[in-house]
Structure 1
Amino acid sequence: MTHLQSLRDAGQSLWLDNITREILDDGTLQRYIADFAITGLTSNPTIFDQAIGDSDAYDAGIRDKAAAGKRDEVLFVELALEDLRRAADLFRPVFDATDGVDGWVSMELSPLLAADTSGSIEAARRIFAQAERDNLFVKIPGTPEGIPAIEESIFAGVPINVTLLFSTEQYLAAAEAYLRGIERRIGAGLDPKVGSVASLFISRWDKAGAEQLPAELHNRLGIAVGQQTYRAYRELLASDRWKKLAAAGAQPQRLLWASTGTKDPNAPDTLYVEALAAPDTINTMPEKTLRAFADHGKVGGVLADDGGDSADMLAKIAAAGVDIDALAAKLQEEGADSFVKSWKQLMQRIANKAKALDGNR
């Protein structure tokens, strides 16, 4: 028994924010499933860049695929999906037992498509088909250009993890896209059951706002935004609009807490996990945070449906000089730019490895 049980008792799913071939090969992921009851995982270009750069576990695959004439994104997608298929199979019993509510893995679209709506729609469809796993989400950013791609992908029956959400308003835009996609499926006589999660990023708020805020308001902004967004989530699930879709067989787009590793070395290493325990949500944690909470995490209570003290806290933070709406837009833009940087670095890393491995044959 670990301290993670308190989160599961609160009705929260625990996912891993990481994947490497090594944790698949050495049984680490299987142990997380058995010992920590991890029921899903997420990935992104930064995670894969680190995984491929810090290990030789991918070298044989890179060499063989390059020898077959595969390059760049085509080669990477094959590598990534090899890992994600294995992970998806480990989570398949949970997926089946929960009727598709839990037990998912996620694969990100190329960040270069962030401003390309039609390209995102086509890539999402292609990756999901190539994965050949029902329990794989395709990640599309909840940017203005991504919102219509999310709606169209849901309508097409492609499960979507909406990523890079930073505010309640951005979350609501993503939720609206999901609802419209499901409503259109019902109108077309299609199955309304299409999986989706909406990923709200937490810790980056506090890193971005620290310089403007007094010490007593440090590490409070991300949690307050999470509380406020959870209120919007509960209100949506209680709405007549959602109840009508649920009665037709749709499943909720679940709210997922992302970026929950503590970035401030002076703050508790389980800060965001403890603060964001809540029913019907997911917390996807880096391995370090997962192990820390398993060792010494504590849950004092669950989030209030009405957002708790978030309105007062956000008012204090705004009064201290933080333009929350402007910062949300900036964080989303910076998040997209960061993934583009990681993506380009990843493509270069794969190209360099392919060249070096070919030279060593």
Structure 2
Amino acid sequence: MATNHLLEIKNHGQSIWMDNLTRDIIKSGELKNLVENQGICGITSNPAIFEKAIYGNAIYDADIEAGVRAGLPTYKIYESLVFEDIRNACDILRPVYDATDGLDGYVSIEVPPTIAHDTEATIKEARRYYEEIGKDNVMIKIPGTEAGLPAVETVISEGINVNVTLLFSVQSYVNCFWAYIRGLEKRSANGNPINKISSVASFFLSRIDSNIDGKIDATLKKGVPDIAVDAKLRAVKGKVAIANAKIAYQEYKKIIQDERWQALAAKGANVQRLLWASTSTKDPSYSDVMYVDQLIGPETVNTLPPATIEACSDHCDVASRVESNVDEAYNLIESLKDPDINIDINAVMDELLTDGIDKFVKPFESLMNSLEDKIKLLSPV
């Protein structure tokens, strides 16, 4: 019998979640099989995933029609569809949640991306989503924007599980972990238990390499003065995202040694795990499992789209590597300052965060428009 490498990864302390959710995989039993037999122990979703799931899919028509008959506005019809899928997925993952004492078994749903820069609106929607979905193992996704992090702190203090998404820079990740710590401290100071709250920090990968590789290719296309500069530039391609992630993991290790975290851990707090996101390889010349193989390590999560799950199950090279070649990772990021390379990593991260929000807003708005069209079709004349 062929080895399922996803199951081997668990032995290194990393959990594999799936970055996909549709009603089809719930109804067909595919999700249940992935959970029970393939090592999948969590689900992440986002507006782009739901747009693909709902658009043009007749499986949702009866519920859309019911929403029309009930006189619900488009946004409420959208929520009724998505919340049902999230609840059903939570039920399928509940045995994992129970078996791991709340470490895994979560299903993530994102607050509307249109409010990414509005702290109060984010807090309000996170509370409402958590209450209306009504499942212990739901995680509310909040973007790690300047406005998002105070919302993370507040909702953590209220006992809501949070997946902080769209993290690109190491500093944004550090800020995110401290927002989690402040939320737990506030909750503990109010006399509430902190041992049943969970959080992950979704640190994005492939989008970083796509952005930086594009800049390098543009420089190479213009022409470089000599072969040494050419070699410097090519040495960076496809390497920055993994180096950046390895440095973030070193920051994680520093924070969990801090006395403030240690005090919370003594009260039973769960660590906020780094979750590797955006893990499908965009450049076909790179390994299709490079963002899995190079970042396996303890107390981490990797969320994979279906194609990467299949590829990893087949040919991942499983070993704990998140702490290998760490010095090289620091050197690689430092090398971006070399005048011959001249890439401002902070500017890249800011650009990616702006683009990342846009990549969720556009499908969200597109889905609302397509739902409007379908509502018109299904509405009585």
Fold agreement, TM-score > 0.5: yes
Partner of residue 59, structure 1: 61
Matching residue within 357, 371, 375 for 1:336? 357
Matching residue within 188, 191, 199 for 1:189? 191
Q: CA deviation at 1:311?
A: 0.4
Q: CA deviation at 1:338?
A: 1.4
Q: Write the deviation string for residues 278-302 of structure 1: whole angstroms up to 9, x where unpaired.
A: 1100000000000001011112432
The answer to whether structure 1 residue 200 and structure 2 residue 210 are counterparts is: no
1:197-276 correspondence runs (5 A): 197-213=200-216, 214-276=233-295
The answer to whether structure 1 residue 2 and structure 2 residue 4 are counterparts is: yes
1:1-361 correspondence runs (5 A): 1-193=3-195, 194-213=197-216, 214-304=233-323, 307-319=326-338, 320-358=341-379
SS in 2 for 1:58: helix
Whole-Å separation in 1 of the counterparts to 2:140 and 2:325:
31
Contact 2:295 2:320 in 1 (8 A): no
Q: Structure 1: which 4+ aligned runs deviate by more than 4 Å?
A: none
SS in 1 for 2:193: coil
**Structure 2 counterpart of 1:32, which letter?**
L
TM-score w.r.t. length of structure 1 = 0.97
Identity of counterpart residues, as a percentage? 40
Describe the shift of the 1:308–1:131 C-alpha distance in structure 2 as closer, same or farther (beyond 3 A): farther
Contact 2:105 2:137 in 1 (8 A): yes
Which region of structure 1 is more displaced relative to structure 2, 315-324 or 137-146?
315-324
Whole-Å separation in 2 of the counterparts to 1:54 and 1:220:
38
SS in 2 for 1:162: strand
Aligned length: 360
Contact 2:188 2:194 in 1 (8 A): yes
Whole-Å separation in 1 of the counterparts to 2:37 and 2:95:
16
Whole-Å separation in 2 of the counterparts to 1:131 and 1:160:
14
**Structure 1 counterpart of 2:345, which letter?**
I
Q: CA deviation at 1:198?
A: 0.6
Whole-Å separation in 1 of the counterparts to 2:318 and 2:336:
25
CA-based RMSD of the aligned residues comes to 1.4
Partner of residue 222, structure 2: none
